[in-house]
Amino acid sequence: MAPAQLVIDFDDNSLLVPLFGEHDRHLARIEQVMGVSLVPRGNRLAIIGEPVAMRAAKAAIDDLYQRLKQGLDVGNGEVDGAIRMAEALGPDADAVDAVDAKRRSTSADDTIVNTQKRVITPRSPTQADYVRALRDSEMVFGLGPAGTGKTYLAVSVAVEMLLKDQVDRIILTRPAVEAGERLGFLPGGMDDKIDPYMRPMYDALYDMMPGEKVIRRRDAGDIEIAPLAYMRGRTLANAFVILDEAQNTTPMQMKMFLTRMGENSRMVVTGDASQVDLPLGTKSGLIDAMEIIRGIDAVRLIEFSHADVVRHPLVTRIVQAYEGREHGLLRGKAT
């Protein structure tokens, strides 16, 4: 008896090379992760495998094909994102409405971010919800493990709004806390001392704007990158303000930051409550804020999980391993 299969017909052969990838590497990735066999035949692609896996693979391939038809790029990251979202559909992966809803969730106009250097699209449903929240809400908390795009997406939306003159400036800040190390004396002036702490935020900006424009905008005051201590006493109006690594704030610092909000401003707080670098016994301002703001309807809270990690696939497995151990320790304490 011949194994079950699904067949996809493509109406634009010119898109098949970028869809399948160089030497069919995108197809190989889908086969490896989703446990199916993919056999291209002209303008058709046969999917062979278990019914649920076949339907999920079809949903992922349909999603990538529609991206290409929209003029968007498809690379390794987009393939992994399509796989992740298709698998999230579960048994509904064969339902047209479910597939269309997923595609609208991640490829619709309200989730595509245009910057000067690239077009950025979400790679998970949670990321899509986060982009919508960043655009629609005045205050957003993005919480979750490393590699989920919390800061990157926030900076991308901030850049887009600055380029569209929806805000006058971008302010990026984070607490200057060492990650479990003691770096000692750092040479140079104040900018030289704080630059290592701010470097990840510069990296995100340079990924979205030409370097000379970042420098020009910074010198003009349109972009400010500064440690959290510099925010005290200010009212931040007409600005898109991002507080990164918020788990390393104290409760007083967090209160100070949140009360800086001015007219026509957006505030975004990102952090991972499992990676606190504060001295032992010091409560995290992020954890403290979560206990306070959960009941405030106007504040959007987006929580990411290991399923949203968009870095190297091994990062997802590492995050899962740490989460598994932490949950085991908590269960041990409970008993």
> Helices 125-136 and 96-107: crossing angle, nearest 10°?
50
CA-based Rg of the chain, rounded to a whole angstrom? Answer: 22
- What pLDDT is recorded for position 155? 95
Count the domains in the chain.
Answer: 2
Residues 55 and 127 in one domain: no
Residues 122 and 103 in one domain: no
| Structural domain for 252, as ranges | 110-334
- What pLDDT is recorded for position 166? 95
Residues 234 and 144 in one domain: yes
Q: What is the mean pLDDT of each run of 10 residues along the chain (335 residues)?
A: 79 94 94 93 92 90 89 85 76 51 55 86 86 94 90 94 95 73 50 66 89 92 88 90 93 93 94 88 92 88 84 66 62 53
**Residue 225 CA: distances (Å) to CA of 10, 159, 174, 191:** 47, 13, 9, 10
Neighbours of 302 (CB within 10 A): 24
Three-state SS for 149? coil
Nearest CA to 300 out of 154, 107, 182, 173 is that of: 154
Which pair of tokens denotes residue 170?
């971008």
Domain end residue (candidates: 107, 131, 152): 107
Contacts 24+ apart (CB under 8 A), 252-259: 252/285, 253/175, 253/228, 253/285, 254/285, 254/286, 254/288, 254/289, 255/285, 256/231, 256/232, 257/173, 257/228, 257/231, 258/139, 258/289
Residues 76 and 103 in one domain: yes
Residues 117 and 46 in one domain: no
Neighbours of 18 (CB within 10 A): 16
DSSP letter at 109 equals G
Residue 233: partners with Cβ closer than 8 Å, 6 or more residues away: none
Domain end residue (candidates: 61, 81, 107): 107
**Tokens 């030409």, residue located:** 210
Residues 99 and 156 in one domain: no
Domain end residue (candidates: 92, 107, 122): 107
Residues 307 and 276 in one domain: yes
Q: Are 48 and 36 in contact (CB under 8 A)?
A: yes
**Tokens 């003029």, residue located:** 71
- What pLDDT is recorded for position 49? 92
Residues 251 and 301 in one domain: yes
What stretch of H or E contains 133?
helix 125-136
Residues 102 and 116 in one domain: no
| CATH number for position 63 | 3.30.1370.10
- What pLDDT is recorded for position 235? 85
| CATH number for position 136 | 3.40.50.300
Q: Are 284 and 278 in contact (CB under 8 A)?
A: yes
Residues 223 and 310 in one domain: yes
Residues 198 and 283 in one domain: yes
Residues 76 and 206 in one domain: no
- What pLDDT is recorded for position 190? 52
